Amino acid sequence: MTTSTQVTESQRKQVLSVSTIAFTACFAVWTIFSIIGVQIQKDLGLTDTQFGILVGTPILTGSLSRLILGIWADQYGGRIVNFILMLAAAAATFMLSYAETYTQFLIAALGVGLAGGSFAVGIAYVSRWYPKERQGTALGIFGMGNVGSAVTKFIAPFVMVAFGWTMVAQAWALALVVMAVIFYATTRDDPVLVEQRKTGRKPQSIAAQLAPLKHIQVWRFALYYFFVFGAFVALALWLPRYYVGAYGLDIKTAGMLAAMYSLPASVFRAVGGWMSDKYGARTVMYWTFGVSILCTFLLSYPSTQYVVSGIKGPIVFTLEMGFIPFTVLTFALGFFMSLGKAAVYKHIPVYYPDNVGSVGGMVGMIGGLGGFVLPIAFGMLNDLTGVWTSCFMLLFLLVAGAMAWMHLAIRRMERRAHPELGNLPELPELQGLGLSAEDRRKVAAALARRTAAPAGALAPAE
C-alpha cells in the first residue's frame, strides 16, 4: 500500500472481516452445483462427462472474468466492482431455478460463475489496506472465504431433500443480494483510490497493468495456483459425486464428508498466510507440494484384488481404501492446499505491488481454470478407464510437475545469485574433500548472506 492517506487499524479490520464474509457468500454460490448438480444429473440422465462440464461451467466464467475484474478493481475501486458483481451473480443464480434443459442449465451456470470473480476483486481491494509485511496474513484471512464451499455442502443437501434443488438456488441468490447490500453499506473506498481522487492522478492504463504478465515468473505462480486452488475447487465439486458413486453413500452423507475436505482447505488458509509472512512463502510451498504428492499417490491406488499361489492353493486378498481413511487423506490434502493458496498470493503484492489486480487476476484466472478443466477431465477419465481413483492419478502428475518446475527454478536463481557455488561440491563443509581455503571463504560468505535475510523474506529473483 503506497499512499499518504491515513488508515486506522479498526478500518482495516472492518474491511477485512466484511470482505471475507462477502467472499464466503460468493464462494457458496460459485460451488452450488457440487450439490444440486448430483440431482440434476439424475433428472436429466447425464453422463459423468456431462456432469463434469455442468459443475465446471461456473468455474470457467469465474476464472476467465478474474483478469478483467482485477484490472477494474485497480482502476475503479474494489468496493463498487464487487457490489455490482454480487448482484449480477445473484440474478443468474435465481434464474437457474427456471432452467429445464441441459443447454439452459449451462447458460445459467455461466452467469452463476461470476460469483467466482469476486476473489480477484477482493485481493486487489484488501491488499491496499495493509502494508507489505502484513499482506500475507490479511490475504490469507480473506481467502478463508473458500469456506463457502463447505457451507454449501453442509446446508444445501438438507434444503434440497426437504424442498428441492430449486429452493437451494433461490435461497442462495437471496442471501447473496443481502450480503451485497451489507458489504457496500459497511465498507469504504480503499485508500489508494481516495488518494487518486484527491490528487487527480489517473490510474494505470490497462496496457501498463498487463505488462508484468510477460514474465514467466507470473505463469509459474499460476501453475502453482492451478493445483492448490484449481484442484481444490475441482475436488470440492467432484467429491460428493465420488462418495455417491465409489462408496454408495446418500447425498446428505456425501455432502458432509466432502465438507471435511473443503473446511480445512478454507479455514487454514489464514494459517498459510501467517506462515508465509513468518517463514517464507517458498518454504510453505515446498511443504504443500511434498505432502500433496504423498497424499495423491496414496489416493491414486485403485481397489485391487491379488491372487497368490499358496501352499494349499490360491490365496485371494484385496487392497482397497475405505471411506474413513479416504476422508482423512483428503482432509490432509485440503489442509496443505490451503497453506499453498496463501503462499502463492504472498508473492504477488511483494513482487508486483502496483499490479496486484492484473497479476493476481491472471494467477487467479489460471487457478480457477483448473476448477473448470479438472472436473471435466475427472469425468472423462471415469468414462474412459472405469476407475474411480483416476482423478487422483491426474492430480499426482500435476503436483509432481509443479514441484519439479519450482525446485529447478529456485536452483537456477540460487546459481545466478551466487555463481561461486557452481564450482563447489554438494557438501563443502567436509574439508576432507580437498576444498581450497578460497572456496571455503566463498561458501562462508554466501551462507552469511543467506542467513542474514529476514525469515519471511523472499529471494529477490524468485
Confidence of residue 204 (pLDDT cuts 50, 70, 90): low
Position with higher pLDDT, 460 vs 126: 126
pLDDT at 462: 45
pTM, entire model: 0.66
Say how far apart CA 437 and CA 161 lie, in whole Å.
Answer: 76
Q: Is the pLDDT of residue 371 over 70?
A: yes
**138/24: higher pLDDT:** 24
- Concatenated DSSP letters for 374-417? HHHHHHHHHHHH--TTHHHHHHHHHHHHHHHHHHHHHHHHHHHH
- Higher pLDDT, residue 139 or 287: 287
Question: How does residue 451 score in pLDDT terms, banded at 50, 70 and 90?
Answer: very low
Average pLDDT value for residue range 445-450: 56
What are the structural domains of the chain?
Answer: 9-417 (1.20.1250.20), 419-452 (no CATH)
- Of 47-56, 160-169, 290-299, 367-376, give the range with the top mean pLDDT: 290-299
Query: With bands split at pLDDT 50, 70 and 90, how would you rate the model's confidence at 435?
Result: low
What pLDDT, on the 0 to 100 scale, is given for residue 461? 39
Task: Name all contacts of 87-91 with Cβ < 8 Å and 24+ positions apart.
Answer: 87/177, 87/180, 88/114, 89/26, 89/29, 89/30, 89/113, 89/114, 89/115, 89/118, 89/176, 90/29, 90/173, 90/174, 90/176, 90/177, 90/180, 91/173
Q: Is 305 helix (H, G, I), strand (E, B) or coil?
A: strand
Q: Is the pLDDT of residue 151 over 60?
A: yes
The percent of residues in the chain predicted with pLDDT above 90, rounded, is 20
Tell me the three state secondary structure of residue 317.
Answer: strand
Residue 174 has pLDDT above 90, yes or no: yes
Q: Which among 150-159, 175-184, 312-321 has the top mean pLDDT?
A: 175-184
Q: Would you say residue 234 has pLDDT above 90?
A: no
